[in-house]
Structure 1
Amino acid sequence: MEKYKESLHSDARQLTIYARTSPYISRAFYHIFGKKLLEEGCVDCSYVLKALGKGSYYSRLNSQGSNLYKLYAKSCMTSENIEITLEYLEAIAGNQDRNLSPLEEEALVYWIFLPYTSTNTPKREKKKEYLIAILNCFAPEWIEKYNGINEESSPKQMDLHEKNNIIYDAERCELELIDSVSGYVKDISRMKQQDTGRILYFRGHSRFSYALLPSIKRSPGWQENENRMYQELIIRCASDFAQCQSHLDYLVEMQHYGLPTRLLDITENPLVALYFACCSSPEDVGEVIVLQTQIAAMKYAKSDTAAILAALPVFDASFRTKLYESCINGIPEEEDPEYISLAAKLAGEVKSKNPGFEPRIKKKALLSHVFIMPLRNNRRIIKQDGSFILCGLGDGNGEGNSLRGLRYRNESGKKLIFIVGNKENLLHELDQFSVNKASLFPEIDDVAEYIKLKYNGSDK
């Protein structure tokens, strides 16, 4: 090992040893990096690895009343000497007897790497090496803790690498950088040929850090008030829902206009997903998520499972929580009087829109998520080759929903992750294939915006 790497690894060990008596440090690294590495096998480290300045941490921490603002004072000089770093931490933070706020944790971790913040390539390499070394030092403790909670999906060890500011566990993940449309299409074609019994779907995220969740799951307030939002939009905009015949129709219409729902947009067209990964946040690493399911598991708009899950937003949070708790109590459906009562109410709501519905609802169905191919009666869905994942009660007090298991895995069982870097070039390539804002958003205002930008600055 090169001498500078030996020094960085020694510093990483000293920092993690210090963190045993100052656990706020290990908690900060866990919340920012560890949790995502354990759950997903990868984490976006751009905010540390990019050559950025101090930002506004000083003023933001000061306004929050945090003494950690002193880390960013001019008198607190950052240093590559770990002894000086730890002396500053001891003097300013000491043994915190409280949990730090997310902002404090972010600022603390960022400060630790400030000595290596530079556009200078050797400095960046040092920062990357140091971060991986620190994460490797914390990893055994994280894995041991995680194993006691999530035994089925727990990693046994980590082999950490970095690509385009993404740190990933090579034991569980394989990262592919999309640098051309043609190369990407070849990769997808090869994946489709390998398993003809499955169907692939795609979703583009403009930021790698985005979670794979339907919008309703992204805010506790939205989860708590799902039924209120659902009912209020129908009441306020009744004419827009005049043609809706099923609960799923209502959800699709709400999704179209931006109301948070338990639908997750996906597409059968990999180029559409690539466009969405590139069309915003140009400085951030994007991602194309590949999802897979058995062809036989696909559901259509008229399916009973779709009808059941789509009716859940009609009920308030208390009802959904009770229903979830009944689903996981281990009692068979026919022997569970509370579940029978709750399921009967849900079945009655489903039957109100679908008179032919057979009122038999399995607990397993309520906890699931299903791939739905909707009716092609919406111009945007048609243009985007759109489908949905409809999420049920999930795995967290009736309001979580883990979709990680749906991600595509290669022959060795590793999760395949497509990351997107040079977005501008890829958008130009996609435009040559008529994949652009005008083609994917056929409403006149979106087409007009595309034309305006296309000819902006033209000499003609």
Structure 2
Amino acid sequence: MTQLIVKPKAKRPRPSLQITSVSSFVYHVVRWLLDGHAPTAFRGQRHFGWHSLPKIFREDNNVYDSESLAVRDIVSLHPGEFEPDKTMFDRLVRMQHFGLPTRLLDVTTNPLVALWFATEPSSTTDEFHGVVQALLVPQNRQRYYDSDRVSCMANLANLTKKQKIDLSIAAIESNSNEEFNNTPIVDTLVFQVGMEKSHFRKVVIASDLELPIYVKPKMSNKRIIAQSGAFMLWGTQIYSGAEATRLRQDRIWIHEDDKAEIRRDLGLLGINERTLFPEIDKSTKFIADLYGTGGKPRGMSTLL
């Protein structure tokens, strides 16, 4: 395990398969297999060249170096918002919801939701054409929200930059997991986990902190429910060159010129900004945009 954060600079190549309509997408999805299995989750992005990384690891911000301060600041400023959250993972989900860069990556179990995000119009001339990515996550890298492994990985967000480096050095230099667990920095991590799990035993597996895992969250958030949401949770390392650690994935792309029509058709299927973002500010924007263009949603009465 290494603390070196490898940020891939080259854009990803365009996938070979192009989707031009909702119907062709559905036809492909029902037959979409990875190593003989249906995908675990999907993710849509408005540009095919972007790497799927959590915001905190992207090059357009430096929040990672001050991650522990950022998570404390947001809770300090809005304590009431985080009052229902019992674990650090719960807090990370809420922070992600409000736009703070975290070590979480949004995914969905509904491919039509992923398609909607892939059809977001591009605002730059060199980052256009959307992509839907299908992920196959092995069972040993899937966890529920209350997993001890999830608690250990999520609480890395409470460590300072130096502490995260110390943790990686301890993992590299330790000859056994027992030796790793006897280091002071693991004591620090265990203390953070113990704040939410008083029963937690001091058994931290170094390799468990390294690879991204798929986490099934509590369906206690309106947006998660609406988007059939789940998360990929990153630990101490965001990229591994070892083939055995990479998740099996496949991608299809959408031409920029097809995005608008695909979004209109998705709207007929109930996949639109109003349903995916059920907060009142999103609903008012959706309605204002709709009637501002002279339209009317299917099934909505004109008598208000």
Q: Give the TM-score category using the shorter length.
A: 0.7 to 0.9
Residues 91-140 of structure 1 show CA distances to partners (whole Å, capped at 9, x for unaligned) of xxxxxxxxxxxxxxxxxxxxxxxxxxxxxxxxxxxxxxxxxxxxxxxxxx
Letter in 2 for 1:451: I
CA distance in 2, matches of 1:258, 1:379: 16
Whether 1:265 aligns to 2:106 is yes
Tell me the equivalent position of 1:356: 199
Question: Map of 1:134-153 to 2, 5 A cutoff?
Answer: none
Structure 2 SS opposite 1:190: coil
* CA pair 303-316 structure 1, distance change in 2 beyond 3 A: same
1:256 aligns with 2:91: no
Distance, in Å, in 2 between the alignment partners of 1:391 and 1:328 is 18
Cα gap change, 1:230/1:431 in structure 2, threshold over 3 Å: closer, same or farther? Answer: same
What is the identity, as a one-letter code, of the residue corresponding to 1:265? D
- One-letter code of the match for 1:335? E
- RMSD across aligned C-alpha pairs, in angstroms? 2.4
TM-score (norm 1): 0.57
Q: CA 1:314–1:276 in structure 2 vs 1: closer, same or farther (change >3 Å)?
A: same
What corresponds to 1:419 in structure 2?
A: 253
SS of 1:191's equivalent in the other structure is: coil
Corresponding residue to 1:433 among 269, 281, 301: 269
Report the Cα distance in structure 1 between the residues aligned to 2:264 and 2:240, rounded to whole angstroms. 34
Q: Tell me the number of residue pairs that the alignment of Structure 1 and Structure 2 aligns.
A: 280
Q: Which residue of 2 aligns with 1:225?
A: 66
- In 1, Cα distance between the equivalents of 2:117 and 2:263? 10
Q: Indicate how the Cα distance of structure 1 residues 457 and 213 shifts in structure 2: closer, same or farther if over 3 A, else same.
A: closer
Distance 1:448 1:442 in 2: 10
SS of the residue corresponding to residue 218 of structure 2 reads coil
- 1:355 and 1:226 map into 2 onto residues whose CA distance is 24
- Greater helix proportion: 1
Over alpha carbons, which structure has the higher Rg? 1
Q: What SS does structure 1 have at the residue aligned with 2:292?
A: coil
Relative contact order higher in (CA < 8 Å, ≥ 6 apart): 2
Alpha-carbon separation, structure 2, partners of 1:195 and 1:270? 18
Q: Summarize deviations over 1:358-406 as a string: whole Å, max 9, x none.
A: 2200110111211000000000000000000110001xxxxx4359922
Aligned match of 2:239: 401
Can you give the 5+ residue segments of structure 2 that lack an aligned partner in the other structure? Answer: 1-7, 297-304
Q: Percent identity?
A: 29
| Deviation digits for residues 272-308 of structure 1 (CA, Å, limit 9, x no counterpart) | 0110111231661111111111245321011011010
TM-aligned CA distance change 1:237 to 1:402, over 3 Å: farther
**Cα distance per residue 1:141-174 (max 9 Å; x no partner):** xxxxxxxxxxxxxxxxxxxxxxxxx4xxxxxxx5
Residue 343 of structure 1 corresponds to 186
| Residue 333 of structure 1, CA deviation | 2.4
Structure 1: which 5+ residue stretches go unaligned?
1-33, 43-165, 167-173, 395-399, 409-415
Partner of 1:287: 131
User: 1:242 aligned to 83, 92, 97, which one?
Assistant: 83
TM-score normalised to structure 2 length? 0.85
Q: Which residue of 1 aligns with 2:234?
A: 391
- Report the alpha carbon displacement of residue 454 of structure 1 after superposing the two structures with TM: 1.7
Q: Distance in 2 between matches of 1:289 and 1:182?
A: 17
Distance 1:234 1:180, change over 3 A: same
What SS class does the counterpart of residue 16 from structure 2 fall into? strand
Residue type matched to 1:353 in 2?
Answer: E
Asked whether the equivalents of residues 108 and 228 of structure 2 are also in contact (C-alpha less than 8 Å), the reply is: yes
Q: Which residue of 1 aligns with 2:155?
A: 311
* Partners of 1:292 and 1:407 within 8 A in 2: yes
Give me the whole-angstrom Cα distance separating, in 2, the residues matched to 1:459 and 1:273: 25
Paired residue for 2:5? none
Shift of 1:202: 0.7
After superposition, give the CA deviation of every residue in 1:235-293 in whole Å (9 maximum; x if it has no partner).
Answer: 11111111111111111111110001001000000110110111231661111111111
Moved more, 219-228 or 241-250: 219-228
1:443 to partner: Cα distance: 0.8
* Cα deviation 1:323-377 (Å, max 9, x = unaligned): 112223462222358x622112211210111112222001101112110000000
1:215 paired residue among 46, 55, 71: 55
Question: Could you say what secondary structure the match of 2:195 adopts?
Answer: helix
> Match of 1:357, as an amino acid?
F
C-alpha distance in structure 2 between counterparts of 1:434 and 1:402, whole Å: 38
Partner of 1:36: 10
